[in-house]
Amino acid sequence: MTWTDVLTAPLSGLYATAVWLRHLLYDEHVLPSHEVDIPTICVGNLAVGGTGKTPHVEALIRMLSPRFRVAVLSRGYRRATHGFVLADEHATARTIGDEAMLLYMKYPEVRVAVCEDRVRGVRQLQKQFPDLDVILLDDAFQHRRLKAGYNIILTSYDRLYKDDHMLPWGRLRDLKQRVLKANAIIVTNCPDDLLPIDRRVVDNHLRLPAYMQLYFSRIRYQEVGMQGRPLVLAGIANPQYLMQYVQHHYSGAELMAFPDHHRFTDRDTERILARAEAFDFVLTTEKDLVRMHGTPLYDRLASRLQAIPIEVDLGEDLAPLEKQLVTYIKETKNRCASSRS
């Protein structure tokens, strides 16, 4: 244990106690939790980022939208608005947040909305679109006011929640035992050469109850067809995997990292432009590109700027996860219809 651990471990204990008390108030019904009469699938985690929630929400959109009418509800982190906002042609990253804006741009057939109060957000979506079949909740596992029908927890392969600590000692924002409230765990950011024995090792280490499904996913970056030496701009929680891909395909790549959801200032623009002169082009994430739209940085870099699209690859786990979710949606819809009649 390092001196940093010695100093932060007691603070971690205090934070864990506060989180435990909050959950106790909900568990004992001192604070109310609300159920809604529509299938809801929550994609969340126990950590503070870097597990790939938004790409996994995208994967669920691609999986479910051919069969169901799908909506997505998120908080809209770091947006400049408040309350319920539905994404439309006037939406920007400032009005609904970068992640919601990215989903709206990539999947225009899906209803995308943001609201700090997920209960109100779900009810507003139901009111405006009564034919919805399912609502995907992006990062709502800690939002106890809404009791989601199906919970998916993400945990990164190289930093499993079981091996982590509560903030500020580690990266966990929620208690490890809260994972027992999930219906499924997806181990994300897995290596391409993951073997069946590696899956068994993780399964044995996590020791999940029999009712909980365990899946594994990889992030796939798509080629962008650029040549030369890139400068990489990344305002995401964990740029490690992005840089591994870029360095494998491009020599001499350099990273300029910013905090997650960072809004690029005029000072940032001058720093980036000065550094970009030494490179052939600039690579960034789709989420960062959404935030850059309409800024001087985007205008001055547009001819040399390229985002790297990513997708989640569930491999052999795609079919069983889809079967689980389709069954949940159909059974819940039938139950809700019966209760209303």
Q: So what's the pLDDT on residue 187? A: 98
Q: Which two tokens stand for residue 27?
A: 């568990």
Are both 92 and 127 inside the same structural domain?
yes
**3-class state of residue 213 by DSSP:** strand
Q: So what's the pLDDT on residue 3? A: 67
Q: Evaluate whether residue 18 is within a structural domain.
A: no
Q: So what's the pLDDT on residue 51? A: 86
Q: Evaluate whether residue 17 is within a structural domain.
A: no
**b/e for 163-173, b at 16 or more Cβ within 10 A?**
ebbbbebbbbb
CATH of the domain at 72: 3.40.50.300
Residue 30 CA to residue 241 CA, distance in Å, equals: 42
Domain that holds residue 274: 223-308
Residue whose structure tokens are 């490179």: 279
pLDDT one digit per residue (tens) for the chain, 341 residues: 676 776 788 999 999 999 999 999 999 999 999 999 999 999 999 999 888 999 999 999 999 999 999 999 999 998 999 999 999 999 999 999 999 999 999 999 999 999 999 999 999 999 999 999 999 999 999 999 999 999 999 999 999 999 999 999 999 999 999 999 999 999 999 999 999 999 999 999 999 999 999 999 999 998 888 899 999 999 998 898 999 999 999 999 999 999 988 999 999 999 999 999 999 999 999 999 999 998 999 999 988 999 999 999 999 999 999 999 999 999 999 998 888 76
Q: Evaluate whether residue 275 is within a structural domain.
A: yes
Are both 132 and 147 inside the same structural domain?
yes
| φ, ψ at 150 (rounded to 5°) | -140, 125
Q: Evaluate whether residue 253 is within a structural domain.
A: yes
Instruction: Give the single-character DSSP code of 263.
Output: P
Are both 186 and 329 inside the same structural domain?
yes
Are both 228 and 211 inside the same structural domain?
no
| φ, ψ at 284 (rounded to 5°) | -150, 175
CATH of the domain at 253: 3.40.50.2300
Q: So what's the pLDDT on residue 341? A: 67
HSE (CB half, 13 Å, CA atoms) of 290? 24
pTM over 0.75: yes
Are both 234 and 150 inside the same structural domain?
no
Are both 105 and 228 inside the same structural domain?
no
Domain count of the fold of the chain? 2
**Cβ atoms within 10 Å, residue 316:** 10
Are both 74 and 150 inside the same structural domain?
yes
Q: Evaluate whether residue 26 is within a structural domain.
A: no
Are both 121 and 142 inside the same structural domain?
yes
Are both 70 and 195 inside the same structural domain?
yes
Q: Evaluate whether residue 84 is within a structural domain.
A: yes
Are both 134 and 171 inside the same structural domain?
yes
